Amino acid sequence: MKFALLGYGRMGKAIEEIALERGHEIICKIDKNLNEGNLYQADVAINFSIPDAAVDNISRALNKSVPVICGTTGWLDAYQQVTQIAIKKNTAFLYASNFSVGVNLFFKLNKVLAQIMESHKEYSASMEETHHIHKLDAPSGTAITLAEGIIENSNLIDWKLGEDGKDSLRIQSYREGEIPGTHSVKYKSPIDNITIEHKAHNRKGFAFGSVIAAEWIVGKKGIFKMDDVLNL
């Protein structure tokens, strides 16, 4: 398959390495000071650009009917705009806040635990996420997805960054060193705590998942999620 990489930072390079190992060809690389190859000849584009460039990159590919895999977070105000382009151009679009297979299993576990904990009102939920100092958005897209999974299965109505609220889930964000990503969900009572955690050791899991998604989406039409790729 012919891949286009929209964003060629650390994630773009990690994706390139895995894609080449799996026998694919990188025919286009686009970044702030880089524009190599022909995007429109690609079988699929993978976007891991900075948030400010995401919508333009995604729209550019979709408008030429190139399916897009997107792992950039911090741009979702324009999600409807992007999906409408994909539908209009009869192509495919898949956004995930995290492409790691382990994280997507963690999303599922988080929802199941939230359903169980809903009947135990003595426990209150909170979340922490820690990433490297280069990550621009807070909370992380992964944390937001986890929060949505808890809210959907509880009486909480929203989440707040660094704030407590009667009907809100508190998310605390930290930016430290070169940490790839750690997310923990805690249920606290006067008697004990219950905590589930996912800790990434490196970026390979994110890169591998995005390549798997790219392989899966070619030839499909519509709007998809990582659940579709993994049959979750």
Average confidence (pLDDT) over 191-220: 94
Q: Are strands 124-131 and 168-175 parallel, antiparallel or unpaired?
A: parallel
Percent of the chain exceeding pLDDT 70 equals 100
Report how far apart, in Å, the C-alpha atoms of 11 and of each of 17, 49, 76, 99 are: 10, 9, 19, 12
Q: Establish whether 186 is a catalytic residue.
A: no
Q: Which of 24, 29, 131, 198 is catalytic?
A: 131
Q: What is the pLDDT of residues 85-98, one digit of tens each?
A: 999 999 999 999 88
Helices 10-21 and 204-217 meet at what angle, rounded to 10?
A: 60
Q: Establish whether 221 is a catalytic residue.
A: no
Contact 62, 94 (CB under 8 A): no
Evaluate whether 2-99+204-230 and 101-199 have a shared fold: no
Q: Which of 24, 135, 183, 198 is catalytic?
A: 135
Can you point out the beta strands (E) in the chain? Answer: 2-6, 25-31, 34-37, 44-47, 68-70, 92-95, 124-131, 158-161, 168-175, 182-188, 193-199, 222-224
Q: Is it the case that residue 185 has pLDDT exceeding 90? A: yes
Q: What is the CATH number of domain 101-199?
A: 3.30.360.10
Record: fold of 2-99+204-230: Rossmann fold (3.40.50)
Could you identify the residue written with the tokens 């009917």?
A: 65
Q: What is the pLDDT of residues 8-19, one digit of tens each?
A: 998 999 999 999
Strand-pair partners of 174: 130
Q: What is the pLDDT of residues 97-126, one digit of tens each?
A: 889 999 999 999 999 999 999 999 999 999
Percent of the chain exceeding pLDDT 90 equals 81
- The model's pTM is 0.78
* Alpha-helix runs per DSSP H in 7-124: 10-21, 51-62, 79-88, 101-117
pLDDT value at position 57? 94
**CA 139/CA 129 separation, integer angstroms:** 7
- Nearest Cα to Cα of residue 69 among 216, 230, 177: 216
pLDDT value at position 149? 96
The residues spanned by each domain of the chain are: 2-99+204-230, 101-199
Residues in the chain: 232
Q: Are strands 44-47 and 2-6 parallel, antiparallel or unpaired?
A: parallel
